[in-house]
Each structure stands twice: as structure tokens, then as C-alpha cells.
Structure 1
């Protein structure tokens, strides 16, 4: 859908809830399902539940919280609407408390529960891993994602290069979250210069934390390269919502992401997206399939933030 037709969807809205009608029309014109929209919002770091999207377009609820309004800006981008066009149609915030209308409670954003991750880290013996000073700097990372015949995620192969900030560094903590928790977590295999240590899995939430132990400790200033893979059972392979991304909590010098498509499921369009922390909108860039039915994207001196590839 072109920008001009999108603008028409906004200008032609009318009735008691212009926002809901405009959103509903834009979603219909885009041809995207709520599942696809939710996946794209999540990949851009602004997760919204399918229930919330449904309530927004029906007029039963409206985005009011700061995180919901941020997600609304990304939603305009996904639906190819002019920036601020949906926001301009929002009515005043609805009353809260005893005077509020009797509307079913909906969690407007679905964010991963930090407490679940902290519980797994405690069981692993590393309860402070998220917040403690990091003694390894991730210098470079290379992810290669192989999709199956059904478009699901079959295999991820990763090479990581670290630099030690102190002597005696001997492990890296891997945290993996599946987009399809019902399919279970993938099998983790150490391929090069490392072996598996302790591991904890929460199948219900598709979450895994694991230690990748270096074959030898490294000293301050030394670099170290490891390689590992995550292989899913299938087919059918776990759904990946037509996107693959990494969240970087700290800057990284270089991140290379490859997506390899099966020839029977090659996409019509691919885009890379980069959303540094603190920015409302992702930077998008079109990608072209190569002769091997693959695309790649490179981030240089990126982070903190989200970086990935999405496709249709």
C-alpha cells in the first residue's frame, strides 16, 4: 500500500472513534494479520499483545501509556501511514478509577517477565548475571539462521569473538528466547573452542540459559572465538514470525546477520531494521536476495538496541 492511499485511510475516518476506524481500515488495507503486526512490533522493541491490538481497532480501548504510544509510532510505520497520523486521532485519555467505564482489563504490552529469567539464573548459580559488571566484551558476532521448508526456524549457527577485561575469564552466559514457546527450546551444541556447562530451561516460556565454557581461560586483553548452534526439532519447525533479531544491552563493534531461505519459501521482500535504545522508530533498509536465496545485514559500532531482519 502506498503512502498516498494510507493517508486517505486516515483522512476519510469519521464517527465517534476516528482512531479505531482509521486503524481498522489501515490494517485491512495492509493485508497483515494481527499476528504479523504483533511480531513486527515485538522485533522493533515495542511489544503489544494481539488482544490489545484487537481492542484498539474495535474502539473498546485506546493506547494511553507511554509504551503504548511509542508502539503506536512503530505501528504507523508498519502500516505505511504518515508519522503521527494515528496519534492525532486519539481522543482524550479515558477516565480511570471508579469513574472508568467497565472495560475488560487487557495487558497492553506483553514484555518478558524479568522474574522468570532471574529465577533461571538463580537456579544456574548466577543470580546477578544481568546486572553485574561484565568482564567480557563482545567484539564481534555472526548469526546464520537457516529456515526450513515450512518457513520455520530450523538452525542458528553463531560465531562470537570476545575480549577479556580481566584475567581468568572462562565462560560466556547464553540467554535464548524462542518466538514459538509451544515448540520447546532448541538443542544447544558447542562446535568450536567451547563446551557446555550448566543449563536451565523453561519450556513453557521458551527460555533457555546456558554456560558455554571456554576450552582454556583467557587473560586480560586476549581475544577468544567460540562457535555454537541451536537446532530445532522438525518439521514442522518453530514459527519465527518472519523476523530474526538480537537485542544488544551493550555496544558491539560488528554484528553480521544472515538469513538463508529454502527455495520454496523465498520471500518477496526483506528489510533490515535498527532501533537504538531511546529512539522511537527503527531505521529500515531494503535487502536483496543473493543467488543462494540468502540476505545479510551488518551493524557496525551498534548498541544498545535492537537489530534484525524481517521479511514478507
Structure 2
């Protein structure tokens, strides 16, 4: 259904998004209070002031929760899906991409992960090459939306000064923003699902990390995950190339409230692969080491 009009002319002030939003609101015959109430009925919290700012062009939706609200607005105002979202300008850069401190140092970029999506299953397969370091990690992840509107996952992984791994979206996702936070020693990357999930809905996505160890004195002989929330199942496989099979390999798990990790020796199969499984684990760190 196209945008309905009831004699309202399009005000070209503000932005293309704000003008289209004003027209859609005028055509719907709904006041901002009523629109806010309908959003609230669908679990979306947006203030009347924010709606007023959006239609006036003083502000535009930028946070992921606000983007999700616009998707629902399109339904409430009975305009075609994407009619409003497609008019949004790119979000203003924050942190390292937009400003520097007085001393010239870059400030870290903070990515907004939006409505909650829980990681309920993860399968990592690591390939260890020359030098005994991880070359690639292929991850298959299952997410469950904790609320309507979840459409991405914020991936965080260590960055210790060596070239950060290259992130590649493989299946059922695309790569959004990627930023290195050198102060905290992490890289942040958005994996975009391509659609909004309903509350309780699951999504399977696959991505990979490729590491470049050239010129780096990387002594790490391990792969691990830090889980900030409990995960029902985590499967970790480590495949050693023929020239990199170690003498021994072990699993380790350290709960958040535990001073010491629990370790267990692992068998390396004839195909050069070892694996470990964590069930109902976390918060904490789980991984495999070798040497």
C-alpha cells in the first residue's frame, strides 16, 4: 500500500526521512500520543519527544533500537516496508571515525548491538598452520532473539597489536561496521542478519576470521571464547596441519568466579583434529591449548 494522503502537502524542510515521516503521520490521522501507544503495545519504547524530533528533522533514528522502531512505524502508518528506512541518512560516525582527543589520540568507537539476541549454540573450527598459530576460524552460530527487533550480533575479539583478523560473512549474515579499539585491545564487528527477528525466533549465521601472523612474534598457542552469558552448547574443533601437530593438546575452562581453570588432556585424532564441548557453560572462558 502506498502512502495515503488526506489533503496534506509534503513539507520539504528537514530531511527526506523527516518529510516522508510527517506525510505518513498526517495521512494516518494518528496523533503522536496514539502512535507512541501503538509502538508500546508492540514492545517498542519511543518517547513522543523523539517522534516529534524525527518528523521535524531535528534528529534522526540512529541507534539500532530506533531503527527497529522505524520498521514498526512503517506497519503502524501503513506505508510500504522500507519506505521510511530507505530515506535515513547514514548514522553519524562516533568515536575513532569522527573525532580525536585534544592530544590527537583516537577515541574508541562504540557499536550498538540493539535489541538483545542470545547466543544459544556455537561451533568453532580452527585451522592451525605453520608456527603452531591459528590461521582461520570458521564459526557457525545460533542466536535467539530476546525481544522483537533483534537484527544483528556484536562480535568482539582480542586485538593484541598484531594485524587484526579479517572478518568475512559466509552465510545468513553480512558484515556491518568493523572497528579496532586499540586502547582496550579488541576489535568490534557487526554481523547483520538481514531481517528483524521476532521474540524467541532463532537465526543461524556463519562467519570466519582469518589471521595474518607475518612479521608478528605471536606466541599464542590457543583458541578460546569468553562467554559473558551462559551458553547451552559450545563445540570447539582444532585442526592441525600435518607440519604443525603438537606433542600435546588440552582443554581448559575457567568460570567467571573461579580463580583457576580446569584442564583436561585431549586426544588428537589421526586426521589431526582435537575437539572439546562445553554444555551449559558460562559466564567464563573456554578453549583449547596446545604445545
TM-score range, shorter chain: 0.5 to 0.7
TM-score of the two chains, using structure 2 as the length reference: 0.59
Q: 2:147 aligns with which of 166, 182, 193?
A: 166
1:214 corresponds to = 193
Give the 3 Å change call, closer, same or farther, for CA 262–204 of structure 1 in structure 2: farther
1:256 corresponds to = 235
Say which SS state the counterpart of residue 306 (structure 1) adopts: strand
2:134 corresponds to = 153
8 Å CA contact 2:162–2:213 kept in 1: the answer is no
8 Å CA contact 2:166–2:209 kept in 1: the answer is yes
For residues 259-279 of structure 1, the C-alpha deviation after alignment (integer angstroms, 9 at most, x for no partner) is: 111211211111101111211
1:308 corresponds to = 287
1:205 and 1:235 mapped to 2: Cα distance?
23
1:197 and 1:252 mapped to 2: Cα distance?
24
2:120 corresponds to = 139
Q: 2:173 aligns with which of 194, 197, 200?
A: 194
Correspondence 1:241 to 2:229: no
Runs of 4 or more off by more than 3 Å in structure 1?
Answer: 202-206, 234-238
Q: How far is 1:207 from its partner?
A: 2.5
**Which residues of structure 1 form unaligned runs of 5+?**
1-118
Say which SS state the counterpart of residue 108 (structure 2) adopts: helix
Give the 3 Å change call, closer, same or farther, for CA 292–233 of structure 1 in structure 2: same
Give the helix-richer structure, 1 or 2: 1
Correspondence 1:290 to 2:290: no
2:216 and 2:157 mapped to 1: Cα distance?
16
For residues 87-121 of structure 1, the C-alpha deviation after alignment (integer angstroms, 9 at most, x for no partner) is: xxxxxxxxxxxxxxxxxxxxxxxxxxxxxxxx534
Q: Pairwise CA RMSD of aligned residues?
A: 2.1
1:231 and 1:240 mapped to 2: Cα distance?
17
**Which residues of structure 2 form unaligned runs of 5+?**
1-106
Give the 3 Å change call, closer, same or farther, for CA 279–234 of structure 1 in structure 2: closer
Structure ranking higher on relative contact order (CA contacts 8 Å, 6+ apart): 1
1:310 and 1:288 mapped to 2: Cα distance?
12
Larger CA Rg, structure 1 vs 2: 2
For residues 122-172 of structure 1, the C-alpha deviation after alignment (integer angstroms, 9 at most, x for no partner) is: 3x4x3xx6xx9x611110011111111221221111111011111121000
- Count of aligned pairs: 185
8 Å CA contact 2:123–2:140 kept in 1: the answer is yes
